Amino acid sequence: MSRPVGEREIIARIRQAAGNSGDLLVGIGDDCAVYKAGPDRISLVTTDTMVEGVHFDRSWHPPVALGRKAAAVNISDIAAMGGQPRFALLSLALTSAFGGQWLDAFMAGFLAVLAEYGVVLIGGDTVQGGHESVLSVTVLGEMDEAELITRKGARAGDVVLVSGFLGEAAAGLSLCRLGLSHDSGWQPLVSAHLDPVPQVALGRVLAESGVVHAMQDLSDGLATDLAHICTESGVAAVVVADKIPLSPLLHEAAKICGQSPLDWALAGGEDYQLLFTVGEQQVAELSSLVRAQTGRELFAVGRIVEGQGVFIEEAGQRREISYRGYEHFR
């Protein structure tokens, strides 16, 4: 009997077996695959799957919000490389429990998010599912080749930045599980889980700035997603616990749920903020640019250093947190 394997090993085995094509600029191992679309122009392709009982629960996830999330999490991968999303494909494997009314509401949410980002639905597939329904979305984007940002490129001395509060979606999930999703006081956290917002406009600003060395979106938690950047770039990182942006509402929810707000930020996942590295000399200028063009604030949470792994400094102690975020098959 063969030993079980985790998600990262599965991806590594597939990556090794698939090899690479000379026509690809970026293959397996980043947020999107990237290929040439013409002189100085590139296309981005990403796909993601949501499984009932793993990624969503119909008892608290309304179909409109689920449709929005299915679109948003894929568009977020395009944003993670600084691209502009253009087209989408949707494949559905639905059980008999999903009727026409549910489907109409789901599609209303899905198409609304596509419209918000100028994306057109161009096809897909529909089949009858088994015991759980499965939603699979592919999004295609484009951008100038010179502006592409990948997970590779982080350099020792870089500052590690994030684009917003972390841990919100994980807190929202815990509140949903406790039956508190309809409490208006928790809506910002619940919405972060049910209806995330891809950072397309910010991703474009960062790409056009030309100073970002490496980037990805925060889908599996800071500990895992920063580890991906470090692994692909051949470096290590140190983050400072007190620098990680945690909202006051997150701290309140942690007390109610009996959880650690820091753990939510490091390992909760599904925040879909952007995580990126920039040379120290460019941080102030980039922060001013982002503030002027988007009204957003950036948060410096750590540094890239020589070595391997991701470490956190907390209360005078340093410990490794590499790949401590969400992982399938763990």
Determine the pLDDT at residue 16.
Answer: 63
Could you read off the pLDDT of 280-323 as tens digits, one per residue? 999 999 999 999 999 999 999 999 999 999 999 998 899 999 98
Kindly indicate the confidence band of residue 24, based on its pLDDT and cuts at 50, 70 and 90: confident
Kindly indicate the confidence band of residue 30, based on its pLDDT and cuts at 50, 70 and 90: low
Whether the predicted pLDDT of 259 surpasses 50: yes
What's the mean pLDDT in 25-44? Answer: 83
Could you read off the pLDDT of 188-219 as tens digits, one per residue? 999 999 999 999 999 999 999 999 999 999 99
Antiparallel, parallel or unpaired: β 159-162 and 41-51:
unpaired
| CATH H superfamily, domain 7-147 | PurM-like, N-terminal domain (3.30.1330.10)
Kindly indicate the confidence band of residue 137, based on its pLDDT and cuts at 50, 70 and 90: very high
What's the mean pLDDT in 57-70? Answer: 92
Q: What percent of the chain has pLDDT over 70?
A: 90
What's the mean pLDDT in 111-128? Answer: 95
Which residue ranges make up each domain of the chain? 7-147, 159-320
What fold, for 159-320?
A: Phosphoribosyl-aminoimidazole Synthetase; Chain A, domain 2 (3.90.650)
- Report field, pTM of the whole predicted structure over 0.85: yes
Q: What percent of the chain has pLDDT over 90?
A: 76
Determine the pLDDT at residue 77.
Answer: 95
